[in-house]
Amino acid sequence: MSIYSDDAQLARIRDILSRYTRLPFSGDSIPGLIMEGVLAHVRGGQRLNTYDFVDVVDQKNRVGWQVKSTKATTPVTWKRAKIPNAEKLIGDSRSSARGLQALGNAIIEFCNQHARASFALYGLDEIGYSRLILFDDGRVVYFEKRLCTKDKPQLFNPEEFSWRWSAQKKTKKKEQLSALHGIHRKTEKKWWAGHVLGENQLHFSGEKTWWPANDGAHSVAFKLPSKSEKLSVEAFLALLDRLASS
């Protein structure tokens, strides 16, 4: 079985998510655990609730998915980049271009190793990307992408990126530490922001290059409901009461 959902499965994912957004307690976002649960339900898999690279697996069919759900304007946290020997690598990055590249390479390799570990741990043949994006205009887009396979497990090629430290910023509330920016050499666009001096969050803005165009393959879309289309609290409670009585 492919990591890609077929048309019927994509329609089910869309319809379940659309119904969820009509609930009175749903806001203008859909939590990742909801997206993970929907994918696991539709694909007959299991939501792991771990810190492994894959969030949902179907071990019977040897496939797994990394799942992300955010607003379009929210940075995607790819993972916490707690790289080995970080203190020395960070120090060396301040003194030479070679040291800077070595730190960036270590971050990319840490991401690659994280995926490789899931192949071994769960006996997978393919890992895919399950992504839900909520836009400011109320559009919701869901798409799937193959990331890597057991035979070709490399997620990212470290040679495709150059690295530089950002300038330190000050705001009214606090001082922001410098971040390590990974620049995609071919496009000269920033793909990575590694906050290795703070909480180790690794933001991945390059994933926007994966977003499908309108009516892209392996994707579905819908609109968030208007206020009048959402269930009232009273209607929701009445529905629960009917279900409890049935």
Mean pLDDT (the chain, rounded): 93
List the strands of the sheet with 46-47, edge to edge: 46-47, 56-58, 63-71, 126-134, 139-149, 219-223
d(CA 204, CA 169): 20
The strand pair at 63-71 and 126-134 is best described as parallel
Query: What is the pTM for the complete model shown?
Result: 0.91
d(CA 103, CA 91): 9
**Strand, coil or helix: 187:** coil
Q: DSSP letter at 189?
A: E
pLDDT per residue as tens digits for the range 212-222: 987 788 999 99
For residue 171, what pLDDT is reported?
61
pLDDT per residue as tens digits for the range 110-146: 999 999 999 999 999 999 999 999 999 999 999 999 9
Task: Say if residues 5 and 13 touch (Cβ distance below 8 Å).
Answer: yes
pLDDT per residue as tens digits for the range 217-246: 899 999 999 988 998 999 889 988 898 987
Average confidence (pLDDT) over 48-74: 96
